[in-house]
Structure formats: C-alpha cells, structure tokens
Structure 1
C-alpha cells in the first residue's frame, strides 16, 4: 500500500503498512516489521476509532503474561501510537485515538568515562563502525541521525555538521553542530574514500545497522555491556559534568526545550544542587541566644 492509497475506513493493519512504507529504509521501519507481529495480531482488524484504553490494557496484560517486558510493550504500543498519528497526518482519519501505554520503565544508563570512550573508538576496526562511534560520541546524536547523514550536510569550510533533515521526516529533534578535534579528521579521512552520498557507508552503500560491529568493538575494548544509545547519554552527562550550561546541552541534543534535558539527566548530576543544600546546613550554625 502506498501513502496515497490508504483508504478511508482503513484498518490498523492497513495503516501500519502504509506508515512502514512511508518510513522507507529508516531503522524504525525494520523494527516495526517485528513489533507488528504482536501488535497487528491484537489490533490489526480494528479501525482507529475502535482503539480504546481497554483494548490497549488488554494487549499489555496479555503480552506481559507471556513474559514480554514492560519496556517492550511500551515500545510496541508506541509504534501503534505513531501509526495513528501518521494516519491523522495524511488525513486517513480525522483524529488519532489516544493510545494508552504502561509507564516507561526507568533504565540504567551506562555512562562511559573518557578512557572507556577512547577504547571503544579504538576497538572499532571496521572503518564505518569506527566513524559512526566517533560521530555518536562527538555529536551526542541518535544513531538514526548519524546513519542518515549525507556529505552535502557536512561543510568542511565552515566546520559544521548538519544532522537535520530538510523534509522533517523524523519527529526527533536534530542539531546543527560544529566539528571537534575528533570528528573533523575522522570525517576528512572518510570523505577522501567516499563511494556514496552517505557518510556512513559500506561497500558504497548506506548502512542500516552497526549493531554487530558495535558489539564487537565493545568486546575488544573490554568495557562490558554498553548500548549504542548510551553514547548519547555519555555525551550529555559529560557536557553537563564539565559545566556546559543546560541550555547549550539541550541544543546539542536537539531537545525541544531544557525541561526534557533536565528531566532526563538531572539525576546524574546531584552536585548541581550542592549550593542549595549547603544553605540548609543548619547543624553548623552557631546557636543564637
């Protein structure tokens, strides 16, 4: 089904496929191929107006009873939510239904120190994986933004990297950033050997995933378990811990506002409240007679 052929009165299954087609070769399209197996089994035959909180709660209960984690259920229903918003955007439906989801579980973010980050870059022996890791750490970008990056958005004269997409096909914010002493030489070397328009390429073709190479790099580095997205967290916490203002960190991360940045990373920086609690040091005050 194409974007234009999504019919009025389409089922969730039809809209899901239309959304996947619209995503093209983006990683989310691949992920939805797998999440759709469970989601469409439960919701596929319904129309959007029939998607209710009760139906979503039933889905969550069934999935978790089958041993699926709450985080996975949150993600699966998130893809359903994105599909419904897409349907509204293309006017296949008048208004997207509210998709109930269980609370997103708190996950422990792995924050690498500088030595571990350096070891991870060194552990990436494949050039495309090494460049991707350097960019993930050097821009605090999401993986999708790095894999989407094309050479026409890399300006060596100005020393900038434009992670934004002109067609605004992603809902996640992306930044326009200067290069640093790691990303610039890495990009220059890759540009000299480039065989395609994409910055991250393998054999002249865009790369859809670096998970296998990343896992191997982490193993060679001997730094234990680390996820690709932890590099974004590492970059954010490193900037904040070095005193970079919250507003500037928020811009680098592409967040819509500083509230998002603060709510995500404040717990990693309790020292920023030191001056506040120092004022509450009642025990050391001299007794007033």
Structure 2
C-alpha cells in the first residue's frame, strides 16, 4: 500500500530497512511549516502517525517535532523563561542546578527521546553526587534538582516541543524530613529583650515577631511602612547573588503581601529612624544599585546593610544572650511556631509568611500541628469528659 497521498496529505514510502516512512508538512511552535518525518514498522502504523499530524494541522496545533538536546533546551528555558519571570536568586539557583547536575547526566539526550528509565537512572546518579565541599547531596536538594527538571519539561510541553513530561511519570525522590529549629517561648523572650540594646533592634524584632525573610526585612523602605496603623507592604527583597547586591521582587507572587506589626515594632522603628538620622554621614550617600533612597536599614554611609553581615551579627547576639545558636531563618520559624501553638490557623500563618500554598506551611510546621492536636484532645478531656472516667 506504499505510495503517494493526494497533495497536502503527505507521503508514505517503504524504506530499504523495511520500515515505512511518512512525510508531512506540519506547523511548528513559531507558526512556520516544516517537513516532518515519522516511521512505523507497518504501513498502517506510519499512516496513523501521518493522520495524527494532519489532524494537528487542521486544529492549528504544532506537531511534536523537537529533536534538540535537553541541554540546549535548558539554556533557552533559563534565559527566556526563568530569567524573565523569576527573581535573580531563583535564576541563579536554577542555573547552578542545571549546570552542575542536569546537564552533566542528561544534557546530551534528545528532548523528545527522554524516557522514564532516564529519569530513574538520573535519580540514582544524583544520590552518588557530592557538593563542592565533598558532602553527599541532601534528600531535599536531590528533590529540588529533580523538581527543576520537571518544571523545565512542563514548559517544553507548553511550547509544543514534547508530548509528555516523563519526570511526572516516575516516583519523585523523597524530600526527607524538614527540620525546623525555632527558639522556644522562653528563648524568644530572652532574644527580644537582649536585642533592644542593638542598633538593629527594629530589624531583629521584625524577623522574630512578623516572620519576614532576611532579604524582605532588609529591603523595607519607609514608604512601605505606615507607622500610624502598623501596615507594612512587602514590595522587594535584597540578596547577594554571585557577589552582587541585587534588589528585586519578593520570592513569589504571594510573597508580595501586606501585613500589620504591633506597637513593639512600631516603637522600635521610631527610635531607629531618629538614631539613623543622627548616625548618617552627610551626602553623597553610598547607595547600592537599585536601592530605594528611603531604605530603613542602612549603614552610616547610607548603604543597605550587608546581608552576609546579618549572620555574623546574629551569632554574636545569641552568644552574648546565652541562647543556643540558631540560623537567621529560624527567627521566622520561631514566629510561625509560636503563633500556631497559640492557636493561629494555618491559613493565617501562610498569609503572614507569604508561602505560595498552604501545603508549604503544613509541610514545614506539621510537627507544631501534632502538638496542637494533642493539646486540643487534652482540652476536650477537661471540658466535657464524664467525671467517673478513669476513676
């Protein structure tokens, strides 16, 4: 049955190797047309593929036609999608993952020939990888690498380059248990009392009492804060990315949020504003690129406080206060943990912290919820349990 179909419907021929080859001019992702070849062991198999391509043409849908290497596609994804839609720190993190791990193991594979077997082998190889310090990759980082690949392949589907995401067809690597090490209530009180003598008292109080991320708090400007109502709008973050200080949008759309702070933080901000004016050197100010002129937390030269110095300052504060060493980000965890233990809902904490989904909040603070559930069960025993139970 080999032969030529009517004009516009493509052709089917039998090759010397015994397979059948169908050829059709198809639409591509950029709107142009391209001659595409598909193959089958039988005439009917090749014809089915020919008919499918013609049906795609009829619907105006580009046919799957990408034979580019995964590494080349990832370069496009990073530059044209991630860099355009996400913040600088997110782009930098993805770029490192792609360069060090995904390209190393899968970069030469054709985008449209990836299989579930490739995915399973990739996960196994990641578990053998080492960091630049020679340590094994954590379960959490292995999953982050795999999720980066899965996200990139999802975009490839949207661009009509592949028909399925094989990374979604295998069991994703386990993330492992997320460890949160917040201060307890006594430690939090000692911390807030001790930082009152520090020149960045308002900054530390914002971290532990409002749950902001380090870069979000450093990126606050006076125009973001209403000292009369306590309203605070999170519009930007500042981070050091590859040696450069970068002001950019918050981590996710939900991170761009409005929250309220109480009288303790407001009072600290008022004192900070007065002290900053007294400490500030006369112009010209040493502003970082993209830095708002009314930034709150600045050095005496007017430059944003160095994010890396925050870690050192916190370590010194904790040592002087005789509080166990904790990370800057754990002050945020302390805020969320204490609120949940005091009866705040997951939804309320999610909105305060700016998490992308309530699932993120639940995963991070599940241990707190378990403790809360036990407390509720004990409360019910006290409220309505029959008096003779347990006698």
**What is the TM-score normalised by the length of structure 1?**
0.71
Greater RCO, CA 8 A, separation 6+: 1
> How many residues are aligned here?
277
Which residue of the partner structure matches residue 59 of structure 1?
122
2:77 is the alignment partner of 1:15: yes
Which residue of the partner structure matches residue 5 of structure 1?
none
Distance (whole Å) between structure 1 residues aligned to residue 312 and residue 109 of structure 2: 37
Over the aligned positions, Cα root-mean-square deviation in angstroms equals: 4.3
Which residue of the partner structure matches residue 378 of structure 2?
274
Which residue of the partner structure matches residue 211 of structure 1?
311
Structure with greater proportional strand content: 2
Deviations 1:160-217 (A, max 9, x none): 111256x976436234211223321333344453765244445513745433443444
Larger Rg: 2
Q: Which runs of 5+ in 2 are unaligned?
A: 1-65, 130-135, 237-247, 278-284, 286-290
Give the SS at the match of 2:254: coil
Q: CA separation of 1:142/1:46 partners in 2, compared to 1, >3 Å: closer, same or farther?
A: farther
Greater alpha carbon shift after TM alignment, 108-117 vs 51-60: 51-60
**Is contact 1:124-1:217 (8 Å) kept?**
no
**Is contact 2:207-2:214 (8 Å) kept?**
yes
Give the SS at the match of 1:28: helix
Q: Which runs of 5+ in 1 are unaligned?
A: 1-7
2:260 is the alignment partner of 1:178: yes
Structure with greater proportional helix content: 1
1:271 CA displacement: 0.9
Distance (whole Å) between structure 2 residues aligned to residue 18 and residue 127 of structure 1: 43
Distance (whole Å) between structure 1 residues aligned to residue 261 and residue 380 of structure 2: 36
Give the SS at the match of 2:204: helix
Which residue of the partner structure matches residue 3 of structure 1?
none
Distance (whole Å) between structure 1 residues aligned to residue 124 and residue 272 of structure 2: 48
2:187 is the alignment partner of 1:141: no
Give the SS at the match of 1:158: coil
Give the SS at the match of 1:105: coil
Greater alpha carbon shift after TM alignment, 223-232 vs 51-60: 51-60
Match of 1:102 among 173, 185, 191: 173
Q: CA separation of 1:241/1:44 partners in 2, compared to 1, >3 Å: closer, same or farther?
A: same
